[in-house]
Copies of this chain bind each other. A is one copy, B any other.
Amino acid sequence: MIGQSGIAVRNVRRALPESVAELAKYGVATVHEAMGRTGLMASYMRPVYPGARICGTAVTIFAHPGDNWMLHVAAEMLQPGDVAVLGTSSQNTDGMFGDLLATSFHARGAVGLVTDAGCRDAAELRTMGFPVWSKAVHAKGTVKATVGSVNTPILCAGMLVYPGDVVIADDDGVVIVPKLQATRVAAAAAAREVKEAGNRKRFAAGELGLDVYGMRDSLTKAGLEYFADEDALQLESQK
């Protein structure tokens, strides 16, 4: 059950490495579109430094506010290429993750952390190149008193995450690809990228979206009316 405490699962099925590698080529916006505009975490999730970008498989963590005990339990489950994803049982901005845990996670091969709470040691994380996406950056320390869970399904920043799902994060936020759909989504993202590349060229050459996407008729049908200038609009509204 989501939100259940006291469970630590050692081994989980992860998305296929080749799908993860393929998804790593695309940004969050592209993958989100390729999934039919689904999978995004809330807009408050920000990278601790700009330009950070990761793609990996989720080790999920469920923790209580102000308590980072389960992050140590999760460290043991991390494999190279993993992303730790932390959801909490209630809203919290404490600095649950800092440079010591980052050193540990990095040594285990993890590539980043996504947390619906806060992180700290922002300068050190930037120097180490271990990126974090979080709701806050705050030095607030935490206790180790109450158990949560590791590698159970969690809710994080308004999104459902299963262990082994693909996590992609960049300056635009965080998107989750369910592990069984990773291959299909990677293909859709590739197709979208090709199509967008073509459109980008046309836009760069000065063509309008109105023509590239053929929108003029549908805009008229939807009721859009053009006026030559403000005087023409004025005249119309006085009729």
Contact = CB atoms under 8 A, between A and B. Distances in A.
As for how many copies of this chain the complex holds, the number is 6
Contacts of A155: 155, 158-160
Contacts of A158: 155, 158
> Is the interface on chain A under 10, 10 to 19, 20 to 34, or 35 or more residues?
35 or more
Interface in A43-85: 43, 46, 49-51, 53, 64-67, 69, 71-73, 75-76
A28 interface: yes
B139 A29 contact: yes
Contacts of A147: 219, 222-224
A25 interface: no
Contact of A37 (B51, B99, B104, B140): B140
A117 B93 CA distance: 14
Contacts of A12: 229-230
Most buried by B among A89, A121, A172, A233: A172
Contacts of A175: 139
Given A33-B141, A42-B91, A91-B92, 18 more contacts: A3-B39, A9-B228, A11-B229, A37-B89, A37-B141, A40-B138, A43-B138, A66-B67, A73-B219, A100-B200, A100-B203, A104-B203, A143-B145, A146-B222, A147-B223, A151-B230, A155-B158, A155-B160
14 contacts: A3-B37, A6-B223, A8-B226, A9-B226, A29-B95, A32-B139, A40-B139, A43-B91, A64-B66, A65-B65, A95-B172, A100-B200, A122-B172, A123-B172
